[in-house]
Structure 1
Amino acid sequence: MNYIELDLKVEPDFSEILMAELGEAGFESFVETEEGLLAYIQENDFDENEIHKLTAKYLELTTIAATWKSLERRNWNEEWEKSYEPIEVGDQIRVRAVFHESDPAFRYDLLIQPKMSFGTGHHETTWLVMNEQLGLPHEGLAVMDVGCGTGILAILAYKLGATQLLGFDIDEWAVENTRENFAMNDLPAEAEVFQGTITDVREEQVFGGILANINRNILLSEIPAYVKHLKPGGWLVTSGFYETDQADIERCAAENNLKKLRSNTRNQWATVVFQKLDNS
């Protein structure tokens, strides 16, 4: 599946509000540039009319121009290798490519070779989730990674002691990439990855921890399903939404037998950690 790269030429002051609007429209990742903003969405979800409406709305406030193009598989690798730099989460986690040297100062060394630029650690929500993982129990747990992208969160879960892993994504590139990254990080062959959604997870499968870095609308729709696959006392990390949407996520979680443990924000993006209540 190809992605569309939307290139918005606009004043920097409008980047944040445009990211919020595009996030609601299904765009998955954003890169701020000197000239404005780059935004990415799966080709099947792209609606040209919505972009025309959006630019018309902001033309009343500022100068804005939009162009877009389809990104083929080869473009991701070429662009990524030109610009990728290792990512550090605190003083414990370092995410790097195979062409970077390892740094023994970091306890957790994660290797990735993404087919797309999502889930590399550069996006605020990926950083936020990894940061939260450091403070959660993983030892001996089964962990599920919802919308796994590059598989980076599941890889960290394994390095933190998880013994059973399940990841899935609707994008075939992501599934292929996750399998490659699992192999590069010496994850066990039993680590499962498939193309699909939460509805494809077997009913009897339950987890001690679930990682869900997706977006507001999917979380609000799927949190009840996550809870069914979560053991009592197990944790759920949610991210992929803005601070302004946090109240909605917390409300949905409370309605589904989840207790908030903590939350964090980074550049207006948010993550919230929940625990399933034991009502037995």
Structure 2
Amino acid sequence: MGSIYIEYDFKVSPLQPASEVLIAELGELGFESFVETETGVQAYIQKSDWDDTVLNNLFITKSPEFEISWVCKEIAQQNWNAEWEKSFQPIKVGSSCFVRAPFHEAEAVEFDIVIEPKMSFGTGHHETTYMMLSLILDTDIERKTVLDMGCGTGVLAILAKMKGASAVDAIDIEEWCYLNSLENVERNHCPDIKVEQGDSSLLAGRNFDIILANINRNILLKDIPVYASCMNPHGLLFLSGFYQEDLESITTECERSGFKYQRHIEKNNWVAAVYRIS
């Protein structure tokens, strides 16, 4: 039987930047998945992690600048999947990458990726995933060793392998992401991607040419020194999962760990940045 989730349907006015702030706050409270709607945000938290006081300390609800209301209900994972299948649309990243569900028709592109996300993060629809896919497409990954940290659905690891990476590791702390990534790497004929459940403590003694980390600001700031210890000379670090206003603190921590800022891209105030180790 699938996990039981609590779905919150938030009505938000004005939509921006309130929706982005709300998602960031909810992420800190243990909410795992978000769907932006025409009227606000739907957010999901495992029932086992939930109690009826979970929203008591939301700063944004106390702000006079925004009007936020919500209703909540229990939802089984299989119901989530059915709703997702009804609304999920394939996306194209650049001219060469197509991300779709198993029930969509393939397109004649170089990188046709089939993803069934279930409760995992990473379909390409969120700005951070889309930007990370774009950066991978623009990078020479042939014969490189790659780590996808916080892999979610495994979509970044899959694209890296399709682009010729010699070895790819994919790690996520959540069991459903780990299991979902296993399914997706098999579905995309990339069985040699090494998928593991855990956190950055698994990285001791490992080295990579490229590290991809699309997580969130706080985890990135904590783990950047760990990533630095795992980089091969002149290796590249791709980071996303944070806002434009967080770029300075992320860059400062990267520079403290020996990385040099290369460039960044933005989409709806979300940022994906590239750093190189010396």
Fold match (TM-score > 0.5): yes
In structure 2, the partner of 1:15 is: 19
In structure 2, the partner of 1:206 is: 207
Whole-angstrom distance in 2 between the partners of 1:275 and 1:240: 18
Is the 8 Å Cα contact of residues 6 and 45 (structure 2) preserved in structure 1? yes
Amino acid at match of 2:35: V
Amino acid at match of 1:53: N
Compute the displacement of 1:111 (Å).
0.9
Compute the displacement of 1:5 (Å).
3.0
In structure 2, the partner of 1:149 is: 152
In structure 1, the partner of 2:82 is: 78
In structure 2, the partner of 1:262 is: 263
In structure 2, the partner of 1:67 is: 71
Is the 8 Å Cα contact of residues 20 and 242 (structure 1) preserved in structure 2? no
Whole-angstrom distance in 2 between the partners of 1:244 and 1:187: 36
Q: Using a 3 Å threshold, how does the CA distance of structure 1 residues 45 and 263 change in structure 2: closer, same or farther? A: farther
Is the 8 Å Cα contact of residues 14 and 66 (structure 2) preserved in structure 1? no
Whole-angstrom distance in 1 between the partners of 2:265 and 2:225: 22
Whole-angstrom distance in 1 between the partners of 2:40 and 2:62: 16
In structure 2, the partner of 1:132 is: 135
Question: Secondary structure at the residue paired with 2:142?
Answer: coil
In structure 1, the partner of 2:166 is: 163
Amino acid at match of 2:240: S
| Structure 1: unaligned runs, 5 residues or longer | none
Aligned length: 273
Identity of aligned residues (%): 46
Q: Using a 3 Å threshold, how does the CA distance of structure 1 residues 56 and 184 change in structure 2: closer, same or farther? A: closer
Compute the displacement of 1:23 (Å).
4.3
Whole-angstrom distance in 1 between the partners of 2:128 and 2:118: 19
Q: Deviations over 1:215-243 (max 9, x none)?
A: 00000000111111111111110000111
Question: Secondary structure at the residue paired with 2:55?
Answer: helix
Whole-angstrom distance in 1 between the partners of 2:4 and 2:273: 30
- Which sits farther off after the overlay, 148-157 or 40-49? 40-49
Whether 1:95 and 2:103 are equivalent positions in the alignment is: no
Whole-angstrom distance in 2 between the partners of 1:251 and 1:46: 35
In structure 2, the partner of 1:196 is: 198
Picking from 175, 179, 191, the partner of 1:176 is 179
Whole-angstrom distance in 2 between the partners of 1:204 and 1:218: 20
Question: Secondary structure at the residue paired with 2:70?
Answer: strand
Compute the displacement of 1:171 (Å).
1.3
Whole-angstrom distance in 1 between the partners of 2:131 and 2:222: 22
Is the 8 Å Cα contact of residues 242 and 271 (structure 2) preserved in structure 1? yes
Give the structure-1-normalised TM-score.
Answer: 0.89
Give the structure-2-normalised TM-score.
Answer: 0.90
In structure 1, the partner of 2:231 is: 230
Is the 8 Å Cα contact of residues 29 and 123 (structure 1) preserved in structure 2? no
Is the 8 Å Cα contact of residues 120 and 177 (structure 2) preserved in structure 1? no
In structure 2, the partner of 1:249 is: 250
Whole-angstrom distance in 1 between the partners of 2:120 and 2:103: 17
Q: Deviations over 1:52-90 (max 9, x none)?
A: 3326503x4444222334543212321111111111111
Amino acid at match of 2:62: K
Whole-angstrom distance in 2 between the partners of 1:268 and 1:44: 32
Q: Using a 3 Å threshold, how does the CA distance of structure 1 residues 164 and 71 change in structure 2: closer, same or farther? A: farther
Compute the displacement of 1:157 (Å).
0.1
Compute the displacement of 1:11 (Å).
1.5
Whole-angstrom distance in 2 between the partners of 1:3 and 1:143: 33
Compute the displacement of 1:10 (Å).
2.3
Whole-angstrom distance in 1 between the partners of 2:51 and 2:141: 40
Is the 8 Å Cα contact of residues 4 and 70 (structure 1) preserved in structure 2? yes
Whole-angstrom distance in 2 between the partners of 1:2 and 1:196: 22
Compute the displacement of 1:28 (Å).
4.7
In structure 2, the partner of 1:34 is: 38
